[in-house]
Chains A and B, each alone.
Chain A
Amino acid sequence: MNEQPVIQTRGLTKYFGAKPAVYDLNLEVPRGCVLAFLGRNGSGKTTTIRMLLGLLEPTRGEGSILGHDIRALPPEARERIGYLTEEHQLYGWMSVKECGGFQSQFYPRWNEKIFRGVIGHFSLKPAARVKDLSRGERAGLCLGLMLAPEPELLILDDPAMGLDPVARRSLVESMIYLTRRSDRTIFFSSHQLADVERVADYIAVLDHGVLRACCPVEAFRGSVKEVHLRFSGVPPALPKIPGLLQAFRTERELRVTCVHYSRAIEQALQALAPLQMEMAPISLEDAFISYLGERGEKSFILSETEVQP
């Protein structure tokens, strides 16, 4: 086991004007894990990624990637990092094969077999022109270009964006394939909870620039609980419950979603004297939405308790 995290940040902060896009970020990504970087649009994911790669100067705080300061990444560290952006940049007049030939000149460790394997996996013809490729095919080409130098760390900024289900599946398969090497680390941002559920070991959740959770996927899912309470009449008012995320009230039922379910919460709910009370399992997507969703929308706001990860 290599003890040092592949990515580590301390107090990483970026202001655009008076507004913090990323605030006091403390992130640790262990080697060999697949981490899904989640958060709503505009929550600061891309800003974070750009800072990690030294493409954007942090306002304050520090970070390291593969043991190097993010403010001074040497070229040999960059070579060990594969980066896939939201906007794939390619020359339209090149063929798929030419793209590989062009890119390979910049990487001494270029592995042509991997390049061919990935483009084959996405059913790309080597002679096809870049300008004629579909969005999914372009994503496949970019993935091939990124993976051929055999990077230790992959940073993918919303790789699934705009992909059809078939291309998305190919992408996920490629990520699974990469875990064959246990020392490879994948850090990807995504809105596709289904993909996250398939491939991720860890999730980090960013909300308005603040890290709200960074833990194994199952730990996150396990910490958000939904409880159904049935009453003979109108449910009583809910007392102040620590960690309350949402509460939905119907004629005879109360559904309470909370984080860090504890004995104290259970007792508080039992004290309402429901006819029946049961814990309902919750999907990863529902857990995520409860965690980040507006607590006022479609729900009966009973408390504005601030929830910490």
Chain B
Amino acid sequence: MINLNINTGSNTPIYKQITDQVRMAVASGRLAVDDQLPSIRALAERLVINPNTVARAYADLAREGLIESRAGRGVFVTRKRKMFMREEGWRRLEPLMDAVIGEAMVLDFTPLELREAFEKKLGQWKPRKGGSRNDE
């Protein structure tokens, strides 16, 4: 199950907060293939937001192939198809890596310490059920 939360007044629009959290949950294995997501109406009423906002988030996730709506049954996490071209993936990842490295340097971590910490963190992430991007 996934615990979605939203903040108003954020620099990130609400629909994007939802897509980011679902993507993260799928990537980290907290959401597995065939897990069910709340319906648009239920999530809208729980988060106290306009249902159109949830619908937009779900539509974006469906377009990425991360979730699908199954007639009469609800919204489910699907086997992930290749979400982005590698190039686009790197484009999104790079600024995040820069931020982490920049912060680490400011805080006087050595490259070795950073590498070790990174390895350790990586080890804690379970591989997502449904396989890697290579088996599509």
A residues engaging B (CB < 8 A)? 34, 169, 172-173, 176-177, 179-180, 193-195, 197-201, 218, 221, 280-285
Contact = CB atoms under 8 A, between A and B. Distances in A.
B101 to A, nearest CB: 16
B27 to A, nearest CB: 21
A202 B10 CA distance: 18
Interface string B6-17: 001111111100
Interface stretch (B47-55, B67-75, B113-121): B47-55
B44 interface: yes
Given A176-B44, A180-B41, A199 B9 contact: no
Given A176-B44, A176-B45, A194-B8, A201 B50 contact: yes
Nearest to A170: B48
B49 A198 contact: yes
Given A176-B44, A180-B41, A199 B49 contact: yes
30 contacts: A34-B50, A169-B48, A172-B48, A176-B44, A176-B45, A176-B48, A176-B50, A176-B51, A179-B44, A179-B51, A180-B41, A193-B8, A193-B9, A194-B9, A197-B8, A197-B9, A197-B14, A198-B8, A198-B14, A198-B49, A199-B49, A199-B50, A200-B50, A218-B15, A221-B13, A283-B10, A283-B11, A284-B9, A284-B13, A285-B9
B45 A282 contact: no
Given A281-B12, A282-B11, A285-B9, A173 B50 contact: no
Interface of B: 8-15, 41, 44-45, 48-52
Contacts of A169: 48
Contact of B49 (A176, A180, A193, A284): A176
Contacts of B50: 34, 176, 179, 198-201
Nearest to A278: B95
4 closest A-B pairs by CB:
A194-B8, A281-B11, A197-B8, A198-B49
A199 B50 CA distance: 5
B121 to A, nearest CB: 26
Given A198-B49, A218-B15, 5 more contacts: A172-B48, A200-B50, A201-B50, A218-B13, A285-B9
